Structure formats: C-alpha cells, structure tokens
A and B are shown apart, each in its own frame.
Chain A
Amino acid sequence: MSVLVFYIAIFAGALFIVSLLRRMMTPRHDFTSLKTVTFGDESAVRPDRAASIISVLTVFVIWGAFTGSSLMPIHVPGPYSGTTEFTYTARNAAGQTDDAIVRVLVHKVGEDGEAPEIDPGDGFAKNDSDVLQEWRSELIRAHANDEGGDQEGYAVIAVDGQEIAPGETVRVADGTVAMTPKGSLNFTPRKGMQMEPIWLPSPEATVQRFVEIASEGYQNFTLWEHLGWSLLRVVAGFALGSLVGIPLGYAMGLSGWFRGWFDPIVEFMRPVPPLALIPLVIIWFGIWETGKIVLLFLAALWIMTIAARAGVSGVSISKIHAAYSLGASKWQILRHVIIPNSLPEIFTGARVAMGVCWGTVVAAELVAAQKGAGMMIIAASKFQLTDIVIMGIVLIGIIGYGIDMLMRKAERFLVPWKGQA
C-alpha cells in the first residue's frame, strides 16, 4: 500500500514540477493543450519523453528505497538492528514481584551474532539475553532461568511497566512483545517498511548476482548458454512456423478449397493458448528440444497463416486488374503483386508471433528444461534465490523488447511502403 501511495505521489509531483518548469521556459502558448482528443491518425497525444525517463527512474528509486539499497541516499524506515532491552515483571508462587532485563541482539541478514552477555542480576527473576535476525521474531524463555519459574503460580505480569496477559501485545522501545497463550514472551523487533531480500533483493544485489552468473554460469551452463538456448528455440520454432504457415496462408488466400478446408482448423486452433498444448506436446514429443520446438512451431503457425491469408486477401482488385491488363501471367501476378503486397501484413504477424513465441518458450522452460531463461527462474525460485528470479525477469523483458525493436527496424527497412499508401 505504502509503495502505491509513494508511486502516485511521485507521478503527480513530477507532472507538476515538469509542467511548471516548461511553462517557465516557453513563454509562447500554442493550442496543443486544446487538442485532447485523438483524431484518427492525427493523434495529438505523443509520449512525453521526460515522463518516460522519470517513470523508469521512479521504478529504480522505489526499488532502492524499499530495499535499503546503498545506491539510494534516502530510504523508507528499515528493520531494527542492534542491541535492545526491555524489562519484564514476574510474580512468583509466593506472590512477590521482581523485575528483570531481557537484552536482545538483532543482527542483519547474512550476518551472525551471539547473545550479548548479561549479569543475571538480583531477585528471583534473572536477566536474559537472546539473539535473532532482522524481520524475524524470537520466543524469549524468560522464566527458564528464574527461580521458581517452573512453579505453579509463577507468571510474567508486565513488560516495561505495562500489564500483559496471554494473547496480549505491548509496545517496547524497538519492537513489540507478545505473550503466547502459555505465558511465554515473544519479541518482534520493529520491521520498518523495507522489503526482506527474500521478497525483493536490492538493485545492487541483483546486479552483483548478474555479474556473478555472467562470469560463472548457473546450474552447469553459462548465462549466455541459458539465454542463447531460449533464443535458439524461439528462432527455430518461429522459422518452422513461418515456413509452413506463410505458404498455407497464401494457399488459403488464393484457393477456395484450401480456405474451406483449413478455415475450421485455423479458427479453432488460433484461440487455444500454446501453453494449453504443453501437456499434449510433452506426451507426444517428450520434454526435450523436439517438444519445445513443436510447441513454438504451433504458437507461430496459426499467427503466420492468418497474417499471410490477410495479406493475400488484402490486395486491391484494381492492382490485380492493372497487372492483368499490363500482360502479366498468373504466376507473375503472384510473384510481383500478391507476394509483395502481403509483406506488410506478414511482418505485422511476424512481430506478434515472435512476441508470443518468446513468452511461450519461457513458460515451456518453466515446465521442464535443463537450460534456458525460464529454467533459470524456476530453479532459482526453488532455492529462494529471489535475486536470480528478478535478474531473469529483467533479462527476459530486455530480450523480448530487443526482439520487437529489431523486427521493427527490419520492417522499416524491408517494407518501407507500409502504412504509406
């Protein structure tokens, strides 16, 4: 919740500051502010570069602030660590009361500590000491060393002067003390607002893990082998899907018989998510490479078929008529008119298919794999290595984005007329 409030505050604050700065820098007013509606392709709303930069920075700022990152100067309050004390008041069987101190060392995650030394003190209630890790809580066996602590009628009646009974909780200097139903004390040091590394490691821990895995590898394969294998599967599945899907789409666009024959199959298979096919593919093709490539082939096939079919159907009849009256034969029309005319549609399909394949390969590797980006994540999650999970997610995101950027570049280079006619 606090993260969300923090995020909205940064969003609104940045918007306010940036627009204030801009207003100061540009004295002239145009009418862009009046264009708030999108009119067809003449969109008045363009992405604000400053907003994008601040948005990305905000993610890292929040990530750093809520994980106690050393890269961030300001943090939200962290968990308590150090040595703290509280006193408890015990009443023995004879009805006498006595105070004793509990001294606790709360050490940081990944460090070790020993219970601090403490003098047992006077009276029948003896001082105690204990040690625990931040974010954890500890049962303090206060009565264990007290004289008569095992007798009927002995009870702890107050903590730091505040009365306590089984099931109740009182606040002490650096945390809370709760009494269990059996009358023991349970000390919980202040947790603060930061995330435990097991939930979300700090950015630098993730980067550090990335460097480590990039140089040493993970689970018998280098990082590049993991990512490379995922990419290879995607490329192989996509290539096979295109190789079959594009000719099939052309056939469906050109022949009524093909269209009628394959329409029910394509339209039926298209909405089935590839992930739903995983069990069947594993049963038929096994869990290794064949199974994965078949799955990706199926993921790409229908998308490419539909794209090619749409590309062929989309050719305007006047282009075909023009080519005929210029003396072109059927084959020449296919080669010089229909195929080039369908390329923009096929590229759109290819971009979608690559995105779906990348998503599917990661999911397929989650199910069964020895190497691959998805396998890295699932293997790390079993050992609660959250930093590897986060690193894997970031790498998968970057690669997916990179694939789409490359496809867009290729599109602009190969079909420059797309969207221009």
Chain B
Amino acid sequence: MSGLTISNLSMRFDLPNGASIQALQDVSLSVAEGEIISVLGPSGCGKTTLLNIIAGFLAPTDGKVEINDHVVTGPAPERGMVFQQGALFEWMNVRDNVDFGPRMKGMPKAERDRISDHLLDITGLRDFKEKAIYELSGGMQQRVALARCLANDPDVILMDEPLGALDALTREKMQGLVLKLWKETGKTVILITHSVEEALLLGERLIVMAPRPGRIHKEYRLPFADRGVNADLREVKRSEGFSETRDEILSMIWEMEEEIMGRTEAAQ
C-alpha cells in the first residue's frame, strides 16, 4: 500500500458553443495512507472536478491518479464517496442503505448485519435502524451516508462537502464525528469544503486551490485535526495558531475572489 498519488492532472471541458474551460491544470498531489486532507478554494476552482476524477466518475484529459500502485480507470469500492445530500436511497430503510455495498458484493446476511450494527452504533443511529430515510433529520441522513460508505471498507474516503447543507450546531457535532471515525478506522480521507474553519479543523493537510485554471495554490500542514480527536472543537478553535491561519487563508481566498471579479469586469 502506498496511498494515493495524483500526477500532472489536467481537465478541460469542451462546451457545446465551441469554448472550453480549463477546470484543472497540472495538479499533482500525494496523500499518505491514513492521512486526512482538506481541499479549499473559491467556487469554480475545480475542487469537485478533482474529487470526481479521483472517484473515477470523470476521465482526466491528461495525467493520472494512482492508488495502491494501480491507475484509476473508473469507480471502485476501494474509493468510497460521501455526497452533500440526496444520494441516499429513499426506498430503503437505514439498515438497507448502510449494508448496500456488502449486499451488492453478495456477503452473507449475518456478516452484513454485524458490520451495519457496529457502524450504526458508532454513528449514533442504533435506534433508527428500521426507520425510513425521509423520517430522519438532515444530520442523521449524513450519518447514514458516512456509515454506508464505511460499511464497504474503502481505502480512501472522498467527501464532497458532506456537511454543507447542515445547520451550524449539527455541523459542529458532525465534524467531531468525522474526526473520530477517521482516527478509529485509520482511513485516508479527502474532504472538500467551502468553510475555512471546517478545512482547518478536519485537515492534517490543507490544500488551497486557485481558479481559472484550477490549480493548487498553497499547502499547509496543520495540527488541529490531531488536537480535535475526541476533544471539544470549540477549544481547538481557540487554540494557538488557529485564528491566525484562518485569517491568512480567508484573505487569500478573498483576494482570489476579487481577482476573478476584476477579470470578469475587465472582460466586460
């Protein structure tokens, strides 16, 4: 096992009107096994495109993604994905959603139940196993999404703004849960977010991307994810270096947004 390696990735979308968009240009990144990294950037910087290429939903125009010494050519259970919302199967109850992956593999029921029972316990959904998805709150639905992803025992977990649609309080609790699950399972996690605080809290490494063309702008190595495991995240936010780093990244993103605005105005 050698983690995840992204080398010289480029992605260009050709639009029907003849124009094209350079969503990613020459992105290289290597993620060690068991590492949690967060990816941050203004809208349109290609974060989601990058994640979709890693997941195997998109084929890059150039470059490659390698995991465990083989090249990614499509979606596979080794790379689990957690979406923002709406990716759960409403026609199944909580347990059937969680053991979807093992069931598709043809795992016997007893073993499947053991896995889903365990995951539903650690995500705090023990009493909701037989509930329908639409009976759960948004936060609980995302717990189901996390459990469903973990049930398949992937090597890498890709999270596309998994907490983006939650209210502030639920979001904070879920951030704690993500850290706890990361530490307990030892999975590699790549998390995309819009929130600077979330990126700081949930990333051992933080990648700031810049738009047009999408590229890696700056990389930070941060202590906050380790500090946050089984701790009060509000304490972490008050801890040394947090607010300074946050302000620095905020102004960096602010400048990028300004630049985009300026460029758009100049074009007009």
Contact = CB atoms under 8 A, between A and B. Distances in A.
A324 interface: yes
A316 B86 contact: yes
Contact of B81 (A322, A329, A415, A416): A322
Interface stretch (A273-281, A337-345, A363-371): A337-345
Contacts of B81: 321-322, 325
Given A325-B76, A417-B132, A417-B134, A319 B89 contact: yes
Interface string B55-94: 1110000000000000000111101110110111111100
Contact of A325 (B80, B105, B133): B80
Contacts of B88: 319, 322
Interface in B25-42: none
A421 B86 contact: yes
Contact of B133 (A324, A343, A417): A417
B86 A343 contact: no
A181 interface: no
B100 A325 contact: no
A316 B92 CA distance: 16
A332 B92 CA distance: 15
B152 interface: yes
A319 B152 contact: no
A321 B75 contact: yes
A331 to B, nearest CB: 10
A196 B75 CA distance: 76
B82 to A, nearest CB: 9
B89 A326 contact: no
Given A324-B57, A326-B148, A318 B87 contact: yes
Given A322-B81, A326-B100, A327-B76, A417 B90 contact: yes
Interface string A261-275: 000000000000000
A408 interface: no
A328 interface: yes
Contacts of A340: 89, 91-92
B77 A319 contact: no
Contacts of A421: 86, 90, 133-134
A412 interface: no
Interface string B123-167: 000000000111000000000000011001010001000000000
Contacts of B56: 324-325
Interface size class of A (residues with CB under 8 A): 20 to 34
A333 to B, nearest CB: 9
A165 interface: no
A416 B104 contact: no
Contacts of A323: 100, 104
B203 interface: no
A319 B87 contact: yes
B90 A318 contact: no
Contacts of B74: 324
A202 B100 CA distance: 63
A187 to B, nearest CB: 74
B104 A420 contact: no
B102 to A, nearest CB: 9
Contact of B101 (A327, A341, A417): A327
Contacts of A328: 100-101, 104
Nearest to A419: B134
Interface in B202-250: none
Nearest to B91: A340
A336 interface: yes
Contacts of A326: 77, 80, 100-101, 104, 148-149, 152
- Closest 9 CB pairs between A and B? A327-B77, A420-B134, A326-B101, A324-B75, A417-B90, A340-B91, A318-B87, A322-B87, A325-B81
6 contacts: A318-B86, A322-B88, A325-B154, A415-B91, A420-B90, A420-B134
